[in-house]
Amino acid sequence: MQFPDDDNGKMLAAMADAGIDLTKQLDVDFFLVFDDQRDAESATEELAKSKLEGEMELHLNDEVGKWELIVCINMVPQYQAIVEQEVKLNEFAAEFGGATDGWGVMQHQEGDDEFTDDEHECSDDCKH
């Protein structure tokens, strides 16, 4: 696969090189950062009211000292779709004094048989 020579293209190329199937839907995490907790909370509340289909998590990122809103969207990670989503989220975050700060995909997705939790103890409710 060929990708543009920018950060998004390089990330997609690295994912493809790692054997991730970019033709299937994946949980893509978009990161929005805010200096102020109230701004971050307001943005989270407003985004929760929107038609965005995805999960959100807000926490203080101690490494950078900023509030980080992670927006997880299940989508096929195509270059143009990623760029469009980043632009929308950046415009949204800017309304609350924030900005996007990249995106990523967890290596282990649902249905990935290679992932095991060594500390997991099976119970009667386990599905494996």
Please write the tens of the pLDDT for every residue from 18-43. Answer: 999 999 999 999 999 999 999 999 99
Are the C-beta atoms of residues 33 and 68 closer than 8 Å to each other?
yes
Give backbone dihedrals phi and psi of 4, rounded to 5 degrees, phi first: -60, 155
Residue (of 86, 114, 127, 103) closest to 19 by Cα position: 114
Q: 11: which 2 tokens?
A: 């990330």
| Cβ atoms 54, 73 nearer than 8 A | yes
Q: Of 59, 58, 35, 43, nearest to 96 (Cα)? A: 43
> Which amino acid is located at 120 in the chain?
H
- Model pTM greater than 0.85? no
Residues of the chain with pLDDT under 50: 109, 111-123, 125-128
CB atoms within 10 A of CB 10: 12
Q: Are 97 and 39 in contact (CB under 8 A)?
A: yes
